[in-house]
Structures are given as structure tokens and as C-alpha cells.
Amino acid sequence: MRLLILGILLISIVSCNREVEFDAVLMEGSAPTLVQANIQFNNEEPPFLVTLTPTAIGATAFEVLSGLPGDTSVLVGIQQEVNFSYPESDENFFVTIRAIAPNDLVTEEQFEVIPPEDPCEPIFGAPVTWDSGGDPSFSFSFGNIVNPPVVENPDPSGANPEVSNVLEIVDTGGNPFDGFGVQMTAPANFSAEDKIVRLLFWSEVEVPVRLNMQQDPNNETEREVEVTVVHSGNGWEELRFDFVTALAGFTPEGEALGIPDGEGVIPTGEYIRFQMTIGAGDAELAGTFYLDNVGVCQ
């Protein structure tokens, strides 16, 4: 009997030692390896909506930092994804992934978030820049905006850091339809799939900007179309007017070419002039604004 009891004790001691050794193996295991980031852009224009799926060998969870200022880390499990929205920036962002093993060991890697190239198509046959070779055929104004002059860029920063010629637009207010127009030296062609008109606009206040394309004032060949975009009021910004979402412009008769005013219409032809209305119906708006690089692929 004594020998039996002694044998049981020996077996118990050996078993306990093996459990301790097994726990030690778990605690002393390796950190995750081959940390990767599957980065998928869901659109081609800023703000960029990005889906990120982290992977690693030996990880059971991940901490993901977007690289955006002020953002905190997001904890996700394996085969899970996280979404971020990245603004337009002169520099790329870096996302940080911390792969966490069951023993809490961590492997950290950084990955650069590189936006897709801008698929800009040169819609304007002669972009308007107000620099040498980029002048329009002629310009005109209406409402309380009178003959906008060409001046040197007063604030070379943001989306327009170059010291070059720009158009200065002074709106004294009091008219809901203050604006100006430009006759180009060559037409804008909207036959391609990309119908986004890009331009640079400067403002110190948040303001809607309406861009209107015309082929002839009487809408006899191409229907006048317009798109409105809101400027945030933070100096020079690139505004993108997507004419896939265009509306038919105002006419005295309420319709032209069989298309009523305000109805959605996608342009496919050529337009020789554009008009811009700042404030888009706000008679109280007054201020100084600047315009540059209309129809330029930045």
C-alpha cells in the first residue's frame, strides 16, 4: 500500500511539472510574424474611403491606428476589417498595425496609404489660368460683380501654392445672382466618361459656388447645365464639379431643347463658355474671392 501511495505521488509531481512547463511554453512563445495590411480604396477622389484588413501569423487580435491626427487605435479581431476616411493631403498617411499574440507579445508594422492616381481627363481644350497662354477669349460680369481684374496670387498656399496670375472677384452684395462669365478660346468637350471640371477657388467664408456651362446663350445646340459645390472657407481649395450630377440651367421659358429647368441632364457635347455664381442665390453675401486653373488636371 505504501508503495502504491508513493507511486501516485510521483505521478502527480511529474504531471504538475509538465503543466508548468506547458504554461511556460505558452508564455514564452514567439511574437506574431508576417504582419500585413490589405488596403482597399473604395473611391478615386478625396475624401478617400479606405477599408483595411490586417493579417499576421500567430496573432489573435490587432490594434490599428489610421495615422490621422488625433485618431485613437481601433481593436479588431482576426478576419475583421476597419474603415477610415482620408482627406486630400500633400503627404501620404501611414497606418500602424500592432499584431497581438495569445501571450500578449506584439509585433508592430507601418504601411503607407498611397491614394490612387487622379483619373482626370482633360475636358477643357484650353484651360483658363490667366497666365501666359492661358487667357480666355473674353470675360463678362453681371449683378454687382464688375470686371474682375487679373492679379498676382495674394495667398500662395493650400491647393494653390504658386505665385501666379489669378482672377480677383469682388462681390459687394445686394444681388442674389452676382457672377461673371468667360468665353474660352477652345470648347470643353463632355463626350468622355469623366465629366469632372476641376478648378482652384479661394474664400475665407463657407460659400456655395455654382458653375454653369453654355454653348450658346439661347440653348439652341446644347442644353445649359450647372453644378453647385460648397467651398469650406479655408483659403485655396480644389473644387470638383461633376457634371454627371448636372441640372438644366435657368431659361426665361422654363425649358429648352425639351428639357425643363432644374431637371437632371448629363452633358455629352461641347461648350465654349462658363459662368460662375458665388453664393448661389444669397443676396447678403459680400466679399473678395479668387479663381485659378479652370479645367486644369492638377
Local structure of 64: helix, strand or coil: strand
Among residues 76, 97, 113, which one ends one of the domains?
Answer: 113
Can you tell me the mean pLDDT for 44-57?
Answer: 88
Q: Percent of the chain at pLDDT above 70?
A: 89
Q: pLDDT at position 141, please?
A: 83
Q: What kind and span of H or E run contains 76? A: strand 74-77
pLDDT tens digits, residue range 214-270? 887 777 788 899 999 999 999 999 999 999 999 988 888 888 888 888 899 999 999
Whether the predicted model's global pTM rises above the 0.75 cut: no
Can you tell me the mean pLDDT for 128-142?
Answer: 84
- Pairing status of strand 61-65 against strand 93-100: antiparallel
Range of the domain at 79: 33-113
**Domain check: are 171 and 269 in the same one?**
yes
**Domain check: are 280 and 225 in the same one?**
yes
User: Does 21 have pLDDT greater than 80?
Assistant: no
CB neighbours (10 Å) of residue 147? 9
**Domain check: are 69 and 164 in the same one?**
no
Q: pLDDT at position 230, please?
A: 93
Can you tell me the mean pLDDT for 17-40?
Answer: 70
Do 210 and 280 meet the contact criterion of CB atoms below 8 Å apart? yes
Q: pLDDT at position 125, please?
A: 87
Among residues 78, 113, 148, which one ends one of the domains?
Answer: 113
**Domain check: are 263 and 175 in the same one?**
yes
pLDDT tens digits, residue range 80-116? 999 999 887 767 899 999 999 999 999 999 999 988 7
Total number of domains in the chain: 2
Q: pLDDT at position 9, please?
A: 46
Inside any domain, residue 94: yes
User: Does 287 have pLDDT greater than 60?
Assistant: yes
User: Does 10 have pLDDT greater than 80?
Assistant: no
List the beta bridge partners of residue 170. 288
Inside any domain, residue 4: no
Can you tell me the mean pLDDT for 153-180?
Answer: 88
Domain of 56, CATH number, reads 2.60.40.2470
